Structure 1
Amino acid sequence: MGSTSRLHTLWYQDIPLPADEPDATPIFQTWHEFDDTKERWGPIDAARATSSLGDRQKTAVQDSLVLVTWNVNASSPLPILRMSAIISRILSLTPAVDIIFFQEVSRAALSVMLNDARIRQHWFLSEVDAANWGGHLFTSVTLLSKARFAHPMGSSETATLGPVWRVKYPSRFGREALCCDIFIPSPSPSPSPASAALGTPNACFRLVNVHLDSLPAHPSRRPRQISIVASLLRSAGRGVVAGDFNPVLPEDETLVQDNGLVDAWVELRHREPGFTWGIDGKQRFPPSRLDKVATVGLKVQDIEVLHPESVTKPGKPEKVRSTDLPGHEQEYEQVPWSDHSGLRCSFKKD
């Protein structure tokens, strides 16, 4: 077997995974990028080499990575306008975002990503259709910036993509963990387990995008889901899990710490509430920190809540009267980008 095909096989199969987790079987998929010559999205070629860094930043293991996670709410109206606004907000952040986790991405919201010129030019996507959705109305999507990450056979001077896969853990709602590995150039002579499996000296960071089960149903599946995710991170040596944790039962409050994970908000800003849901007072439950970022083997440097704004449409509820044209008054309905706030977090190797 040639070296290229050998690496292609290893890239998908020979990565460290929990040995004692029967509920953590990986279902591998592929990254996608937009092909300008064919004017369509397609799977990347794992054997493709990137000969020039271009505008890509050289990323060493000691450099920070910036992640944004956001549940974009699949059930609210105006999904196209809302998703467009969220994307624009994320892409305007400074420093630039390297990793995006979205949850509750509907088909309409996915179409916004696929047709956004900025996403087409500058991002790899885990999804370009509903093939991995299992018949559900929404899913989670991970995006990686081309400014920070190269193809699997890319330059050794910059971060590269690793495999991407789903783990269908026990769930009442068909929820799953969307996982991927990234490899960061490392001066360390001792590679991580995942790096050693691929024969590369680069450090492996494992990224897990989650939307845990909703509602206070008993027995809760969330303890098992977090346990599986923690095993996935520990088997790689370092990594981050982020997304909608849905901690709605008292037992959920310590699940992150009980599984050996570091809650980024508690680590840096424990004196602040950090609510990401219910802050508008219109929900039947009190405000809560439903969305979280948790790590293993990483140093969290900063974290902040990104509160949603609103888009408008003609309507009757929540009347906001426009008088731009005298005699042509119109009423508008204010629709928040999402019922969740987003989180921005920066981290690096501990």
Structure 2
Amino acid sequence: MGLLSRLRTQLVSWWQDIPLPTDIAANFQMWHEFDGTQERWRTVRTTAPETSITPGAPNNEDTRPTVEQPSYNLVTWNVDYSSSHPAQRLTAILSHLFALSPAIDIIFLQEVSREALSSLLSNLEIRRDWFLSDADGILPAGQSFLTITLLSKARFRETIGLSPVWRVPYTSRFGRDALCCDIFAPMASDAPGPTRIRLINVHLDSLPIQPSLRPQQVSASAALLRCAGRGVMAGDFNPVLPADADVVEHNGLIDAWAALRPNDEGFTWGVRGDEPFPPNRMDKVAIFGVKVEDIGVLTPAFVENTGRVREHEDSDSVVWSDHSGLKCSFKLVES
């Protein structure tokens, strides 16, 4: 990590009012939305609220009524870059997500291949209804896929505006990073302004390689959440070694599944029985300073070569992904 990169990160962090650890180098990028008049994706100017907070002392002189805090609905899904028909599979996943009720506000995708990304960028509902973290069609150097975060326009355009989006490179054998952004909950009764909630989309290092770098990666993300005061880290945690077992709790985060469903296995990978490793809860939601109200597994179906969705597998179909999706709803916990 170079000194100039750290200094640049601190400058942008100050200028954009983004609280970050002092020892990281972040790669800032732009949100994108589709411009229907020009038939192209364009960058979106981001605007931070005039006043945002991390946890602090209440203002005893403030007589504003308590604000009913909204719930945010998030889905994370590793969409499997290596199986055949990536475009058809991703289209089927998105169609399934768009039909869910209540509506999804935030989508975290991992393992988005170049072909899947092209399909995502041409999807009519995506173009109409979503902001994308990445829309240039370019994968990172040496990478076969990337993570992408999507925010619902219906939820975020008319609220407080978009904050910047950025990536923090991990110490990683595979070039992985944390894809970060902040959203802002409505003004709480004891706060001078909207409350920051940090979102971190992750795809931690794969495979049971010793020593595991995943504890370092979770630690780096936990530091990002603590700087913001509140947030959610979700995605593919790849917990395949004993060192990964308690890494969430060890970093002061709460494993949302374990908290809400302690007696359920919650496997998101390996349930078909034909994978090289045993079933595992690969995908997780870790929280800090927010409350998860509900969480559940989204089971993939199958898609034919024609693109038609099937509930059961046959010789002409392929499963949407080797991972199941994970859906959760969370809200701000007022101090």
TM-score range, shorter chain: 0.7 to 0.9
Q: Against the structure 1 CA distance between its residues 28 and 111, is the aligned structure 2 distance closer, same or farther, given a 3 Å change threshold?
A: same
Q: 1:126 aligns with which of 129, 133, 137?
A: 133
Q: Pairwise mapping of residues 69-84 of structure 1 onto structure 2 (< 5 A)?
A: 69-84=76-91
**Is the 8 Å Cα contact of residues 313 and 332 (structure 1) preserved in structure 2?**
no
**Is the 8 Å Cα contact of residues 268 and 303 (structure 1) preserved in structure 2?**
yes
SS at match of 1:183: strand
Letter in 1 for 2:119: V
Instruction: Look up the match of 2:31.
Output: 31
SS at match of 1:160: coil
- Counterpart CA distance in 2 for 1:39 and 1:180 is 26
1:14 correspondence with 2:20: no
Taking every aligned residue pair, what percent have the same amino acid on both sides? Answer: 56
Q: Pairwise mapping of residues 12-161 of structure 1 onto structure 2 (< 5 A)?
A: 13-19=16-22, 22=23, 24-46=24-46, 62-131=69-138, 133-150=140-157, 158-161=159-162
**Is the 8 Å Cα contact of residues 163 and 181 (structure 1) preserved in structure 2?**
yes
- Counterpart CA distance in 1 for 2:92 and 2:288 is 32
- Counterpart CA distance in 2 for 1:227 and 1:143 is 24
Q: Against the structure 1 CA distance between its residues 291 and 266, is the aligned structure 2 distance closer, same or farther, given a 3 Å change threshold?
A: same
Which is worse superposed, 339-348 or 125-134?
125-134
Q: How much has 1:26 moved relative to structure 2?
A: 1.1
Q: Against the structure 1 CA distance between its residues 168 and 40, is the aligned structure 2 distance closer, same or farther, given a 3 Å change threshold?
A: same
Instruction: Look up the match of 1:207.
Output: 199
Q: 1:312 aligns with which of 304, 315, 333?
A: 304
- Counterpart CA distance in 2 for 1:300 and 1:48 is 25
Letter in 2 for 1:16: P
- Counterpart CA distance in 2 for 1:289 and 1:164 is 28
Letter in 2 for 1:104: E
**Is the 8 Å Cα contact of residues 61 and 203 (structure 1) preserved in structure 2?**
no
1:333 correspondence with 2:316: yes
Greater C-alpha Rg:
1
- Aligned-residue RMSD, C-alpha: 2.1
Instruction: Look up the match of 1:163.
Output: 164
Instruction: Look up the match of 1:231.
Output: 223
Q: 2:250 aligns with which of 244, 255, 258?
A: 258
Q: How much has 1:310 moved relative to structure 2?
A: 0.7
Q: How much has 1:159 moved relative to structure 2?
A: 4.2
SS at match of 2:197: strand
Deviations 1:10-63 (A, max 9, x none): 7864311113xx3x32110000000011111010133699xxxxxxxxxx6711
- Counterpart CA distance in 2 for 1:160 and 1:63 is 16
**Is the 8 Å Cα contact of residues 123 and 145 (structure 1) preserved in structure 2?**
yes
Q: 1:291 aligns with which of 254, 266, 283?
A: 283
- Counterpart CA distance in 2 for 1:11 and 1:110 is 32
Letter in 2 for 1:17: L
Letter in 1 for 2:300: P
Q: Against the structure 1 CA distance between its residues 206 and 255, is the aligned structure 2 distance closer, same or farther, given a 3 Å change threshold?
A: same
Q: Pairwise mapping of residues 164-203 of structure 1 onto structure 2 (< 5 A)?
A: 164-190=165-191, 201-203=193-195
SS at match of 1:124: strand
- Counterpart CA distance in 2 for 1:104 and 1:291 is 13
**Is the 8 Å Cα contact of residues 238 and 297 (structure 1) preserved in structure 2?**
yes
* Structure 1 unaligned blocks of 5 or more: 1-8, 50-59, 192-200, 315-319, 322-330
Q: 1:348 aligns with which of 328, 331, 334?
A: 331
Letter in 1 for 2:34: F
- Counterpart CA distance in 1 for 2:89 and 2:101 is 21
1:301 correspondence with 2:301: no
- Counterpart CA distance in 2 for 1:140 and 1:48 is 23
- Counterpart CA distance in 2 for 1:10 and 1:218 is 34
- Counterpart CA distance in 2 for 1:340 and 1:61 is 35
- Counterpart CA distance in 2 for 1:277 and 1:48 is 38
- Counterpart CA distance in 1 for 2:249 and 2:139 is 31
- Counterpart CA distance in 2 for 1:266 and 1:178 is 24
Deviations 1:96-143 (A, max 9, x none): 000000000001111111111111111000001244623311000000
SS at match of 1:88: helix
Instruction: Look up the match of 2:309.
Output: none
* Structure 2 unaligned blocks of 5 or more: 1-11, 50-66, 307-311
**Is the 8 Å Cα contact of residues 17 and 48 (structure 2) preserved in structure 1?**
no
Letter in 2 for 1:107: R
- Counterpart CA distance in 1 for 2:301 and 2:121 is 23
TM-score of the aligned structures, taking structure 2 as reference length: 0.85
SS at match of 2:161: strand
- Counterpart CA distance in 1 for 2:315 and 2:225 is 46
- Counterpart CA distance in 1 for 2:92 and 2:121 is 15
Q: Against the structure 1 CA distance between its residues 213 and 47, is the aligned structure 2 distance closer, same or farther, given a 3 Å change threshold?
A: closer
**Is the 8 Å Cα contact of residues 118 and 137 (structure 2) preserved in structure 1?**
no
